[in-house]
Every structure is written in C-alpha cells, then in structure tokens.
Structure 1
Amino acid sequence: MSITQQYLLDTYRARRHGEPAPPAPGAHDWQVVREWRDHRLFRAVLAERSARGRTRRFLGRWLHPNP
C-alpha cells in the first residue's frame, strides 16, 4: 500500500468516525528538516565542536592546504 492510499484510507475512516482528517503526506517535511538541523547543531555544541562553518572550514583546508 502506498502512502497516498494509506492517507486516503485514514481520511475515509476519520470521516466515518467524525474525527478530524489526518495531515496530508509531506505536510511537515520542512519542520522535520529544521528540527534535525537544530538537533545536529545542539550535538555539536555538546561535543565542544564549532556548530557553524564546519563545512566551509573543511573545504578551505582541502582547497588551500598549508605549505
């Protein structure tokens, strides 16, 4: 069963029982991405690493190695 089919079945059941319809698939994807990013930054701070600019610093060292 696909996600769309499950959503339609859940919507049908909710309507039959007089309950509010569930959120559509993908409705909260960006919220999940933001929470994942915040959690990753939080873990970096707990590990006493820089929370910002790590990728840029890595690329800078890789592209411009010290002689």
Structure 2
Amino acid sequence: MSITQQFLLDAYRARQLGEPVPPAPGAHDWQVAREWRDYRQFRAVVAEHPAHGRIRQALSRWLHLRPRSAG
C-alpha cells in the first residue's frame, strides 16, 4: 500500500468516526527539515565546531571581494 492510499484510507476512517482528518503526506516536510538543520547547528555550537554553511561563505565572499583602499 502506498503512502497516498494509506492517507486516503485514514481520511475515510476519520470521516466515518467523526474525527479530524490526519495531515496529508508531506505537509510538514519543510518544518522537519528546518528543525533538523537547527538541531545540527545547535550540536555544532555545543561541540564548539567552527561555523559552516551559507553565512560563512557569504562573509568570506564579502571580505575577499571588498575593494582595497588605494594608498
């Protein structure tokens, strides 16, 4: 049985019993991905690892592409 078929069966049963319909598959995927990323960043801070990722890359680009003063 696929995830979609299971969802449809659960939704049908919920309606028959007057219960709220469960969330559709994939409805909270982005939230889970954000929480997982935040947890990894938190663990890195607790373990005192250096910063990684987009912020570090952006700062690096900003510092290296900065115009040098003439003189």
Query: Helix, strand or coil: the match of 1:23?
Result: coil
Within 5 Å, which residues of 2 pair with 1:34-45? 34-45=34-45
Partner deviation per Cα, 1:13-35 (whole Å, 9 max, x = no partner) = 10010001000000000000000
TM-score, length of structure 2 as denominator length: 0.71
Structure 2 residue runs of 5 or longer lacking an equivalent are 58-71
Q: Deviations over 1:8-67 (max 9, x none)?
A: 0000010010001000000000000000000000000111012344884xxxxxxxxxxx
Greater Cα radius of gyration, structure 1 or 2: 2
Contact 1:42 1:51 survives alignment (8 Å): no
Quote the residue 2:26 is aligned against. 26
Aligned length: 56
Instruction: Report the identity percentage.
Output: 75
Gaps (5+ residues) in structure 1? 57-67
* Structure 2 SS opposite 1:30: helix
| 2:46 alignment counterpart | 46
Runs (4+) off by over 4 Å: none
